[in-house]
Amino acid sequence: MRFALSNNERIEATKGAKGACPCCGNDLVAKCGEIYIHHWAHKKKCDDHWWENETEWHRNWKNKFPKEWQEIIQKDESGEKHIADVKTSSGWVIEFQHSAIAREERDSREYFYSNLIWVVDGTRRPTDIEQFESLIEHARTISNEPFMLRVLSDWTLERFRLNQEWGSSMSLVLFDFGKSKVNYRDKYSSNKDLWLIYPSKDRTHISCFSKDTFIEMMNSSRSDEVYKMLLNPIQTKLTEEIEQEQKRIETLAKPINQKVGYLIGILRNRAEQQKWFDEFDEFDIKVASKILNNYVEAYIRRGYSDMEIEFRLDGIKSHAINSHKWTAWTDSIEGFTQEVIEGK
């Protein structure tokens, strides 16, 4: 840690200095070597089990904020105490998380601090950067100002471990990919931006926020504006998307309706001209229409264009032609629909 207590004053580590932990009161040792940044270390483990060894990444981020905001002791009504990395003058806590953290501990911190923003080190594992690159590569730009992407396939999201670890957080989580070369079409670079992944019920959006703007706004006690600038555009876009999707579903484009009708026609002919090895007696035009419309609707809600949906309807034509059982056709199309819903 950066600060120790000595005669009730906060002091930084210098050679030969003595101090105590502001949280647990245990003795600290001043570490002032030539390789690592000067810091205090516990002789014994700190009683604050949330505290992690500080890295240069931690210190660099904390130094973006006033000293009097750093390593602030927080105490609740029960007497439980923890050290917040940064607590702003407006009462917001910023936690800089480098190491792995259990979900239970993350949830406990969010409950304890209430107004909390996480900044997570995205460079701890090299594979995290690779997975994030894959994630944005399989995303579609839905807004340039503010910049926003929509993830089209859940399989890339499922492979992105940082999302598995942080996707269910109730607080704002921003990923810092440091000096890595992650960028999107040479416009937004990770060395100047923090990245936000925003999962909702059936879709995920990605946005980014300038590091300099984040630091400036938090330093000027405009924490609420950070939330609004990041989340309001996404929530507005979500509402617009859902309304547009519903409108598309209610008024399907003529080519899509024609292809759905064409597939139903194939199935009806299979039932009327049934061969001895076919089992299409149970064909029901209403059921067929509902199954195909659900299939189309799933793609609409995934953000696919009319042309892409037409292509996929062409792709299932063979199932209408080659299925020998009505139930085999219904099972296969309903299975495909479920895969689309799950983003597979």
Q: Is 139 helix (H, G, I), strand (E, B) or coil?
A: strand
Radius of gyration in angstroms for the set of CA atoms belonging to the chain, rounded to a whole number: 27
Maximum average pLDDT range among 153-157, 183-187, 190-194, 280-284? 280-284
Specify the pLDDT at position 183: 67
Burial of 74 (0-12, 13-18, 19+ CB in 10 A): middle
The residue type of 5 is L
The residue type of 65 is F
Q: Is 148 helix (H, G, I), strand (E, B) or coil?
A: strand
Provide the phi-psi class of 13: left if phi over 0, else alpha when psi is between -120 and 50, else beta.
beta
**Domain boundaries in the chain?**
1-47, 50-241, 252-341
Specify the pLDDT at position 189: 67
Return the minimum-mean-pLDDT range out of 94-98, 121-125, 248-252, 312-316. Answer: 248-252
pLDDT in tens, 24-78: 667 777 777 765 677 677 777 766 666 667 788 988 999 999 999 998 888 877 7
Specify the pLDDT at position 213: 92
pLDDT in tens, 115-164: 899 999 999 988 998 888 888 888 888 888 888 888 876 666 777 899 88
- Nearest CA-CA partner of 214 in 183, 185, 173, 166: 173
87 — pLDDT class (breaks 50, 70, 90): very high
Compute the mean pLDDT over every residue in the chain, rounded to the nearest whole number: 84
DSSP assignment of 228-280 = HHHHHHHHHHHHHHHHHHHHHHHT--HHHHHHHHHHHHHHHHHHHT--TT-B-
DSSP assignment of 317-341 = HHHHHH-SBHHHHHHHHHHHHHHHH
pLDDT in tens, 215-256: 999 999 888 888 888 888 888 888 888 888 888 888 878 889
Single pTM value for the model = 0.70
pLDDT in tens, 189-222: 667 889 998 887 778 889 988 899 999 999 998 8
Q: Is 213 helix (H, G, I), strand (E, B) or coil?
A: helix
pLDDT at 276 exceeding the cut of 60: no
pLDDT in tens, 113-125: 888 999 999 999 8
Task: For residue 342, give every residue at least 6 positions away whose Cβ sits within 8 Å of its Cβ, in sequence order, or none.
Answer: 154
Per-residue pLDDT, averaged over 78-87, amounts to 84
Strand partners, 205: 150, 198
